[in-house]
Structure 1
Amino acid sequence: MVLNRSAKADLRRELLAARRALSPGAVAEAAGLLARQALDLPELAGARTVAAYVSVGTEPGTLALLDLLRERGTRVLLPVLLPDNDLDWAAYEGPQSLAEAAHPGKMRLLEPAGPRLGPGAVTEADAVLLPGLAVDGRGMRLGRGGGSYDRVLARLAAAGADPALVVLLYDAEVVDRVPEEPHDRPVRAVATPSGVRRF
């Protein structure tokens, strides 16, 4: 387990360095392509409610996808980071509904400014878009290591909810193998700028 934790930390450093090297133009182009790929996923096409997130920095861009989902009539829930790293949720009502939030020791995030729906609101989602740094051929996802989405996945399991889990990545972040720990759960699909892969 300690070995896997160390291997995860090494892989995270490598992937984050590659993201930091991306130009703003490359990030913007990838975001447009990613939105089109993800929007065509059957898991999103039939979803009444999608739990998603707002990308920051050089993460694969999500804002275009959020707006397209909303235009299609999909209810979009976005996370609000709590002091203990758990996530509350609020509805996305367009770019004007986002506010920059500063969390001590963390990056600045864009979060929905509307009424909080509680951490359990995610169990209403038909699909959950997960941030990540990599996914492997088994669908095992490597997150940033903060544990927020491990709690989300545990909450979904405890509620008996089974939404489609989809991770959004750059093409090079689909890797041979992601180190895993007992609490890690696989995703159903990955969307990248060049296509979709299911597990």
Structure 2
Amino acid sequence: MDVVNGENGTMGQQKTRLRSRMSGIRGGIPQDRHRSMSAQACIHAADWLMREQIRSMLIYVPFRSELDTRPLVEEAWRAGIEVYVPRCLQENRSMTLHRLKRWDELQSGAYGIMEPDPLHSPAEPDAFVPGAVIMPGLAFDMHGGRLGYGGGYYDRLHERFSAKGGKWSKRPKWAGIGFGEQVVERVPMERTDARLQVLITEQGVHEMNGEAEDGTDAF
């Protein structure tokens, strides 16, 4: 249900407007800048993974104008960090997690996004939790806010990892990665929305909400 936010309309309307604006901004980044900023952000992300001694990560395969994470995936492979990528199940808007060891294990999946072929890389058990979840987004803020695409896939994954009475003894670091131009003053967020603990851009690594073990932070 949309949350009414005064004269600016419902929160859903705010998010729709912001998605439209930020999609245009991200899509308008010239190819050479997109490539160089992606590479720099991936360097910062790799340094962060090593500094935090994170040995496994869930990360997206880039699609359209998203920040290109392929340099980070290849650096993780070289460093012995396990790489997992999601496969979207459109029927219930959930994700399964699959280990990726080579690019040729991918095939076109939901929405035209490259996803793991489950015949070559079976889904991990529901009890599996990576050391970090690195997500795309259309907009971010410096308070841990993230605006996704509206499908709720990562929200459902967060709920799975954070389920009360769940069997997980640890929680992943909840991180977003994007371009500096995608950072806004405030992303419309509800109290129940998961908030980032880390934001990575070409400008560096920004940590926030460190007291939240699972990325949830009341505000």
Whether 1:26 aligns to 2:33 is yes
Whether 1:162 aligns to 2:168 is no
Whether 1:112 aligns to 2:116 is yes
CA RMSD of aligned residues (A): 1.8
1:131 and 1:7 mapped to 2: Cα distance? Answer: 19
Q: CA deviation at 1:120?
A: 2.0
2:50 and 2:18 mapped to 1: Cα distance? Answer: 29
Higher helix fraction (1 or 2): 1
Structure 1 unaligned regions, length at least 5:
none
Whether 1:144 aligns to 2:153 is no
User: Greater shift after overlay, 147-156 or 89-98?
Assistant: 89-98
Question: Could you report, residue by residue, the CA deviation over 1:98-144 in whole angstroms, capped at 9, with x for unpaired residues?
Answer: 2222x3xx3x10112233225725x4211111111222221121111
1:44 and 1:153 mapped to 2: Cα distance? Answer: 24
Which residue matches 1:178? 187
Q: 1:139, 1:189 within 8 Å by CA — same for their partners in 2? A: yes
- With structure 1 as the length reference, what TM-score do the two structures score? 0.90
1:163 and 1:66 mapped to 2: Cα distance? Answer: 17
Letter in 2 for 1:13: S
Secondary structure of the residue that 1:59 maps to in structure 2?
coil
Question: Could you report, residue by residue, the CA deviation over 1:41-99 in whole angstroms, capped at 9, with x for unpaired residues?
Answer: 15775112111110111101111101111111011110011122210111111222222
Letter in 1 for 2:126: G
Secondary structure of the residue that 2:162 maps to in structure 1?
helix
Across the two proteins, how many residue pairs are aligned to each other?
194
- With structure 2 as the length reference, what TM-score do the two structures score? 0.82
Whether 1:193 aligns to 2:202 is yes
Amino-acid identity (%): 27
Letter in 2 for 1:85: R
Change (3 A) 1:44 1:81: farther
Which residue matches 2:212? none
Letter in 1 for 2:143: R
Which residue matches 1:85? 93
Q: 1:80, 1:112 within 8 Å by CA — same for their partners in 2? A: yes
Q: CA deviation at 1:24?
A: 2.1
Q: 1:150, 1:183 within 8 Å by CA — same for their partners in 2? A: no
Secondary structure of the residue that 1:120 maps to in structure 2?
coil
Structure 2 unaligned regions, length at least 5:
5-9, 209-219
1:56 and 1:151 mapped to 2: Cα distance? Answer: 21
Written as runs of structure 1 = structure 2, the 5 A alignment for 1:32-43 is 32-42=39-49
1:27 and 1:197 mapped to 2: Cα distance? Answer: 20
Letter in 2 for 1:95: W
Change (3 A) 1:100 1:14: same
1:94 to 83, 91, 102: 102
